[in-house]
Amino acid sequence: MAEIVMTNLVKTYPGTKNRATDDISLHVDDGEFLVLVGPSGCGKTTLLRMIAGLESPDVGSVHIGGRDVTDLPARQRDLSMVFQSYAIFPHMRVRQNIAFGLTMRKTPKAEIERRVAEAAEMLHLTDYLDRYPAQLSGGQRQRVAVARAIVVDTGVLLMDEPLSNLDALLRMQFRTELKRIVAKLGTTTVYVTHDQAEALSLGDRVAVMRDGRIAQIGPPLDVYDAPADEFVGGFLGAPPMNFLPAHVDRTGDRVELVLGDQRLPAPDTLGGHAGGTVTVGVRAENVEVADGEAPDRVAARVEVVEPTGSAILLTVDLAGRPVKVQTPPTQRVGAGDTVWLAVDPNRMHFYDPATGAALR
Ligand code: ATP
């Protein structure tokens, strides 16, 4: 069992005011793939380095597989790491680079050969085993770094932005490959990225971090579909969730949102906020361009039309605010057109305008 338990981890770097991690407690299950995601400086790398033993917490503890490793140096924690600056040795061939951890552990030669061949196969490096790093592309070098980490077969794999040096296409291909490999190995993995798409696609769970804390943690689609606050809704998803201030009005048993001089039906659950103002959050793909005027639709003016291939992204002006709308590629609208928009009340999210927290 290689579950990781972090308890109350606090870290402040000398000479800085703010906590890099502010009392973080987290449990990563055995075999789970957890992604730490968040904007630059939110504390992802610091948290990972405390699991690795490359940074010590001021307060708190780290347990790996039931063992308290808080005071153990990195080399005694039995884990593998891949970092952004994937330091592979330039003077060693790919074969020796991949074998490095096994050689250090004095693994028998025949077993080293078998495991290197296996890892090379998994990462499509078999044909490159006799090359030096300088004779490889960036993507191939990155794969060598991953092969070197997984070959050792520790229970825990830590990765910090391992795909950051790849171009967009390679990044996507390698992401798929990595997911397949890690699932096959069943290694407990903690993966740091600032790329929300990578987080959503890779993690069994994602932990969205902000200012040294976990803003929300859960399976990717749960977090995507029900962001706990405006920050998470704005961080996950491309484009980010739309946010609009709206007045809540109740007439009889009908609850409506008032946006400028227009109205949209709201779920009954919002009735408790009647007379007040809320922030409405809605994702671009949950706004529909409807085929004409109706009482439960609002009019908006199209400002920008951006085809993305699989969809068209519209920026419309709704009651003086820009709103992103994702429509099928067959939608024929142009800048300057007026469109009628419909939103399923069940796909709307509501936030407290003062705190940004989701309204329950
Ligand atoms: P990025 O995505 O930019 O790598 P991150 O989320 O990984 O960011 P950290 O590197 O963990 O964030 O940094 C968290 C905070 O701690 C930041 O405010 C950063 O400036 C600070 N910090 C990190 N390392 C040090 C250090 N060695 N000395 C002082 N402050 C540091």
Q: What confidence score (pLDDT) does residue 86 get?
A: 63
Please state, in angstroms and rounded to a whole number, the distance separating the CA atoms of residues 359 and 328.
31
**For domain 242-351, which architecture applies?**
Beta Barrel (2.40)
| Alpha-carbon gap, residue 255 to 93, rounded angstroms | 68
154 pLDDT band (50/70/90 cuts)? Answer: confident
Atom 30 of ligand 1 has which residue's CA nearest to it? 13
Average pLDDT on 242-247 reads 96
Whether residue 166 contacts residue 198, with contact meaning beta carbons closer than 8 Å, is answered with no
**Residue 43 contacts residue 209 (beta carbons within 8 Å):** yes
Closest CA to 47 of 228, 213, 198: 213
CA distance 204 to 32: 6
What's the pLDDT at 83?
Answer: 80
209 CA to centre of ligand 1 in angstroms: 13
Distance between CA atoms of 223 and 233, rounded to whole angstroms? 8
Q: Is 44 in the pocket of ligand 1 (CB under 6 A)?
A: yes
- In the predicted structure, residue 354 carries a pLDDT above the cut 80: yes
Does residue 13's CB lie within 6 angstroms of at least one atom of ligand 1? yes
Task: Give tens-digit pLDDT for 62-82.
Answer: 999 999 999 999 889 989 988
- Whether domain 4-235 has CATH 1.10.443.10: the reply is no
Q: Ligand 1, from 11, 17, 37, 42: best to mutate by most atoms within 8 Å of Cβ? A: 42
Query: What pLDDT does 176 receive?
Result: 85
Choosing from 10, 13, 198 the residue with most ligand 1 atoms within 8 A of its CB, the one to mutate for a pocket test is 13
Structure token pair of residue 17: 């005011």
- The single residue listed with the structure tokens 């001021």 is 58
Distance from CA of residue 308 to its chain's centroid? 22
Q: How much is the pLDDT for 85? A: 66
Ligand 1 mean position to 197 CA, how many Å? 22
CB atoms under 10 Å from CB of 105, counted, come to 9
Which ligand 1 atom is at minimum distance from the Cα of 18? 18
Three-state DSSP class for residue 153: coil
Q: Is 20 in the pocket of ligand 1 (CB under 6 A)?
A: yes
The reply to whether ligand 1 has any atom less than 6 angstroms from the CB of 40 is yes
Whole-angstrom distance, CA of residue 280 vs CA of residue 151: 48
Cβ proximity of 188 and 3 under 8 Å: yes
- E strand spans, 200-241: 205-210, 213-218
Residue 49 Cα: closest atom of ligand 1:
11
Domain ranges across the chain: 4-235, 242-351
Return the residue matching tokens 């960036």.
Answer: 138
Is 46 close to ligand 1, i.e. is its CB under 6 Å away?
yes
ipTM of the complex: 0.96
